[in-house]
Amino acid sequence: MALVLPQNLASTQEAIWLDQQLFTGKPIYNTGQVLSIRGNLRVDLFERALRQTVAESPGLRLPPRIGPLACNLMFIDFRTKKNPLGTAEKWMRNEMRRVISLSDPALFRFALLRVNEDHWLWFQKYHHIIIDGTGRRLLSERTARRYRALRFGEPLPALAITTPEEQLAAERRYSTSDAHEIDRVLVGAIRSMARTSSRNRSAEHGTRQIRISCTR
């Protein structure tokens, strides 16, 4: 069966998409984090804040981006377990081993795990094709700010965001620009110098080993 690469992906997304096809059913591009939340959490407001944050983040889905994106937040209470925290950590490890299919419209999973009366764990799992470490941090911060705005009336700054379409257009302009060719040549020269330096270090290291062995 021939593979059909989705249209309008960024170059890094194309590479990830193709690589994932070689490892179908393998969670090689799962990425995520867990954040500890302590205090009297209003779960209803947290879920609302998360849903609104996802709704304003078009980069969390692949094209074509048509219609609303479902955002489900799972709730699991581990307080009755003998070791609530340990049981929650085991659940998260198992969940990270589960692959997220690229055919799934929602390439993320969220869960609130309760391990004590005033202690929650916010579990986040994504396919790397839609987000990186910086993106995870920004989404978490935006959700936290929105939660505080909903609960305590704190101001929520307007979101300055570049759409995926704008980012793709900028990438395509760069790929055909003189700057791209200059950067390509520069990166090639740096890599060549690095390989030469590595070979020289290896040769020097080998010579020292020979001299030492000969003096014994």
Query: Tens of pLDDT along 103-147?
Result: 999 999 999 999 999 999 999 999 999 999 999 999 999 999 999
Best CA proximity match to 125, nearest among 158, 88, 99, 90: 99
- Helix runs in the chain, H state only: 11-22, 43-55, 84-96, 133-152, 164-175, 178-215
Question: What is the spatial distance between Cα 92 and Cα 139, in angstroms, rounded to a whole number?
Answer: 20
Q: What's the whole-number mean pLDDT along residues 62-88?
A: 95
pLDDT at 204 over 70: no
Q: Does residue 59 contact residue 135 with C-beta atoms inside 8 Å?
A: yes
pTM of the predicted structure, to 2 decimals = 0.83
Q: Residue 209: which pLDDT band, with cuts at 50, 70 and 90?
A: very low
Q: Does residue 157 contact residue 145 with C-beta atoms inside 8 Å?
A: yes
Question: What is the spatial distance between Cα 158 and Cα 156, in angstroms, rounded to a whole number?
Answer: 7
Fold classification of 11-159 is Chloramphenicol Acetyltransferase (3.30.559)
Give the pLDDT confidence score for residue 161 in this predicted structure. 82
